[in-house]
Structure 1
Amino acid sequence: MGIFDFFKKTDKVGKDSAIDSKELVGSSNNKKSATKEVVTKLSFHPDWNVPQEQQYVFRFLANELEPLKPNQLSLAAISIEEEARNGAWHVKAFFRSSLSQPIELGDIELILLDKDDKRLASKQFNFKELGTIPAESARPWVFTFDKNSIEAEEIPEEGWKIAFNLISLRGHQLDLDDTWKKQLPKEQQELLAKVVKDLPKLGKTEVNFTGFQVKLRDDQSLHASIFIRNGNEKAINLEQLPLEIIDANGKRVAKGSFKLDPILTVQPNSTKPWTFIFPAELVDAENADFSRWTARVVQ
């Protein structure tokens, strides 16, 4: 099936998902007034040889598009077709730009959301395949979500949308609690952010606990500072956390359960540092070797 076979006279433009272009490409040179709307012009990929009848279909759809604000990038949903052979979803949409200069993008993760913003599918696409998008234009495209990238049982009803995954775009970040921001100098905050950036990449649903500083106090209490790493695209809330600290020799030097009040929230795709204090009665640090140590959640 060719790409033109997906677009039909019966298609209609659905929901539009627009973002500020700086979310993807940084600052813009767009000189247009921030209040003036931009009507995007239909643009075809330079390699396409579009039949006359198909041009009519594309123009009809493009005429249904709402104007954009300046400096926006948008995905306008059209329709979804399921491939019976392998269960893939072919998602028809316009990629639009209201920038006053051409734009070419690289790898971007897209998500499908139903009318209630529940995620239906997610997949990374190479936008270089779309070619250079001219200024203030709309380019029709088919984004194919393989079956293993789809989380829903069936194609959604009206009101669904295709969108840029902004959480994925911004990369993994340091989620510093306000108490830490007040106590730590700016230089140390920047150092923590660099350490977090250099940590191994997390899986999309992974939550990981990585120790980065441990101190045995004179009163024999143990202060363990830990990175709580959240690879999910939703925040996690911690109310109770049973932890143990294991030294370089595999010895358990501390074990305790911490009630977190207020609840400790770790934002999506973020790492939050936190210090847990084990009182002396929960610590057995005799001959402990902290040259290497591990923080583990007790199951």
Structure 2
Amino acid sequence: MTNSPKTYKTEIDFSTDWEIPAQEKYIFQYFHQQLADLEANQLHVHGVKLYTVNDGIVVTAIIRHSLPKKLRLEQVVLVVKDKEGKELAKKQFDMELFGELEACTARPWNFLFERDDLLVPYEEIQNEMDFEMAFEYYEKVVKDFELYLDENWSNGLTEDQKGYVHNLVASLEPIKENEISVVGFHFHETEEAVNVYIIIRNAFAQSLTIENLPIQLFDATGDLVCKLGFPIGEFEIASKQARPLSLSFSKEVFMKVSPDFSAWKIEMIPQTL
């Protein structure tokens, strides 16, 4: 028989920066009393009411935590969902005015989601409808990368090809801070090998020098065709920089006979860098 985890009842606390009438405080206290206790070290948001306004929607919620110490939130991303789990709105909020919470406390707060923050047409959201709220936890990402073409690439590409690569880099999805991303963008097959052009992006805060680049090649069915470590010398890539590179996979080392290259994908194995 296992013991149930210990739970904690939070105490409601009202911000001194929000003048709440006594009657509304009783309403918040009532909602707070209905909430289930938290397990240790949890952060929770509970939606109380949703109002439609001309600018969007205002959501009143209670944020509570069960940490054994004071908590000060800097920024949070909140998601509003309907009862079926469909996301209605999402926004990042600066929580400076929210203030500091004592250990194991809860505090009500109002959040304005403007029309640009809505994920569905405004008409789909009903005043005082049933809804749910959740935090969205995220990591910082890097989205703006500068394309660097060394002399060989600069001389080997036409102006149209350079423009294509520039546009490609600008269109790629952001990547998390302190990651390296490898994306394939051109594929050419010969009798002896498969040649692939890739873009390497560096989202670290400092320059990196890559000596060996381990890459996996997959075909249209998702099968692993080849896995190779490419010795690329002292390949330096600056912070927030994108650099192209060409790789050749010899068919002699293919792990699959007759792969389907109607579609293809490459992945890097970062732990072996």
Bigger-Rg structure (1/2):
2
Q: Deviations over 1:26-51 (max 9, x none)?
A: xxxxxxx9811111111111223443
The answer as to 2:220 corresponding to 1:260 is yes
Paired position in structure 1 for 2:6 = 36
C-alpha distance in 1 between matches for 2:188 and 2:222: 24
Closer, same or farther: CA 130–62 of 1 in aligned 2, 3 Å? same
Counterparts of 1:285-296 in structure 2 under 5 Å?
none
C-alpha distance in 2 between matches for 1:218 and 1:227: 27
Paired position in structure 2 for 1:243 = none
The answer as to 2:101 corresponding to 1:133 is yes
- 2:50 aligned partner, one-letter code: I
Equivalent pair of 1:80/1:155 in contact (CA under 8 Å)? no
Scaled by the length of structure 1, the TM-score of the pair is 0.49
- 2:13 aligned partner, one-letter code: S
Paired position in structure 2 for 1:64 = 34
Paired position in structure 2 for 1:103 = 71
Equivalent pair of 2:17/2:97 in contact (CA under 8 Å)? no
- C-alpha displacement at 1:119, in angstroms? 1.4
Scaled by the length of structure 2, the TM-score of the pair is 0.53
1:170 is aligned, of 139, 148, 152, to: 139
C-alpha distance in 2 between matches for 1:94 and 1:209: 42
Unpaired runs of at least 5, structure 1: 1-32, 174-198, 229-257, 265-274, 281-299
Closer, same or farther: CA 60–121 of 1 in aligned 2, 3 Å? same
Q: SS state of the match for residue 75, structure 1?
A: strand
Q: SS state of the match for residue 129, structure 1?
A: coil
2:51 is aligned, of 78, 81, 95, to: 81
Counterparts of 1:168-247 in structure 2 under 5 Å?
169-172=138-141, 202=173, 210=183, 219=192, 221-226=194-199
1:52 is aligned, of 7, 19, 22, to: 22
Paired position in structure 2 for 1:113 = 81
Q: Deviations over 1:77-100 (max 9, x none)?
A: 1121001x33x1001110111111
- C-alpha displacement at 1:159, in angstroms? 5.4
- C-alpha displacement at 1:172, in angstroms? 4.6
Equivalent pair of 2:193/2:248 in contact (CA under 8 Å)? no
- C-alpha displacement at 1:219, in angstroms? 4.7
- 2:29 aligned partner, one-letter code: R
**Percentage identity across aligned positions?**
27
Length, aligned pairs only: 178
Unpaired runs of at least 5, structure 2: 143-168, 176-180, 202-217, 225-245, 252-273
C-alpha distance in 2 between matches for 1:54 and 1:79: 12
C-alpha distance in 1 between matches for 2:86 and 2:50: 16
- 2:22 aligned partner, one-letter code: Q
C-alpha distance in 2 between matches for 1:263 and 1:151: 36
Q: SS state of the match for residue 138, structure 1?
A: strand
- C-alpha displacement at 1:227, in angstroms? 6.2
Give the superposed CA RMSD: 4.3
